[in-house]
Structures are given as C-alpha cells and as structure tokens.
Amino acid sequence: MNNVSMLVDEPVRCGQKQSESRGESALIRKLFLLLHGSYGNQFVSKFSTGEKDASGKDKGIRAAMMVWESALCKYAPDVVETAACRLQKEHPEFPPNLPQFEKLCEAAMPRHTYVDEQGHTSLVAFSVEPIRVDLARHNDGKDWARSLVGRVEQGDKSVRPICLKFAREALGMDRVQVCIEKIWKGSL
C-alpha cells in the first residue's frame, strides 16, 4: 500500500518537471505574493511543508501554486485581478482558500444576458416625434390644459410640474399615455 506522503510527493515531482518546462504563471505568482503580503505567514503556513525542492523552494507552496493555477486558468487575468482587489474587503481577517477565491472570481465575471448568449440582435428603438397640439380654445373641457401648456411654451416657470404633466396627459401629449390607451383599445 502506498504511503500518503508518496502519493503527495509524486504529483509534486511531476509538477516540478512541468513547471520547469513551461514556467509558473506570472499571475499566480503575483496572486501568492499579494496574499502573502496581505495575510503574512497565515497564508503561507497553509501550504508550507518544510520540504525543499532542488531550487530551494517549498514543495507544498509550489504544489499549491500549481493547483491554484489549474483551478483559476478558466478565468481571464482581469477577472482574477478584480477578485484579488475585492479580497481584502470580503476576507479581512483570514486568507481565503481556493473555493472561496473561486467564488470571488465567479462574482467578478462579466455578466452575459440571454440575448447575448443566443446571438440575437438588440431591438432598434423607434423614433418618437413630439405631439403637436393646437392651443386655441375649443370649449371641449380641455381648455385649462391648453392654457397651461401654452403658458409653459411661452416660458412661464410658475406652472408646477405635476400640473403640466396632467395637462399633457389630458391633451394626449404624453407618449406613454397615448401608447397605453392604444394598447387598451387594441389598436396598437
């Protein structure tokens, strides 16, 4: 039966050969440097084994860097950097573990809408032309509204906004109200 230390040591040796051939990710090195600088030995002691490799680096930390790199490779570098910036606010007392940091990366991912994912084009906004109303008196019960709109168009600032809104609605000048009435009547 294999010893647990032998099971751990094998991936580290294999990982050393891979990391020597391809080099460690600069992003992960910066992330570990930031985490060590922010949380001190509290972060490093989570991974440190005390066993050194040929280059004098701790095997546990090297293995942790490889695990973090393989887990975080699915995120863009700017997402990882954004998550690292949010890190001290989310975890001020203790350093995060990998699943906690992955949650921060998920939260920092740009959002995609259903329309974007399906490749649909966005709807084109229709142009809205202002409704012009004859402001002459018609004796139809809406002369008060014509009077208020006429005063505002001439520059009168004493008309309250709510009164102007009601006057515009009464004359059918409010585009939203016109659309609602057309939908209600079934003509739109």
Residue 177's pLDDT is 52
Asked if 153 and 79 sit in the same domain, the reply is no
pLDDT for 134: 81
Give, in degrees to the nearest 5, the angle at Cα 29 between 108 and 99: 45
pLDDT for residue 138: 87
Give me the torsion for CA of 11, 17, 22, 28, rounded to 10°.
40
pLDDT for the residue numbered 181: 56
The last residue of one of the domains, among 93, 112, 131, is 112
- Which residue in 68, 56, 49 sits closest to 9, CA to CA? 49
Q: Say if CB 108 and CB 82 are below 8 A apart.
A: yes
171: in domain: yes
Domain that holds residue 10: 4-112
DSSP string, 83-114: HHHHHHHH-SSS---HHHHHHHHHHHSPP--H
Assigned domain for 141 exists = yes
Collect the ranges in the chain with pLDDT lower than 50. 1-22, 188
Both 146 and 101 in one domain: the answer is no
User: Is the pTM above the cut of 0.75?
Assistant: no
List all residues 6 or more positions away from 37 whose beta carbon is below 8 Å from its beta carbon.
none
Q: Ramachandran region of residue 53, left (φ > 0), alpha (ψ -120 to 50) or beta?
A: beta
Measured CA to CA, the distance from residue 121 to residue 80 in angstroms comes to: 30
Which pLDDT tens digit goes with each residue over 132-160? 778 888 889 899 999 999 998 888 999 99
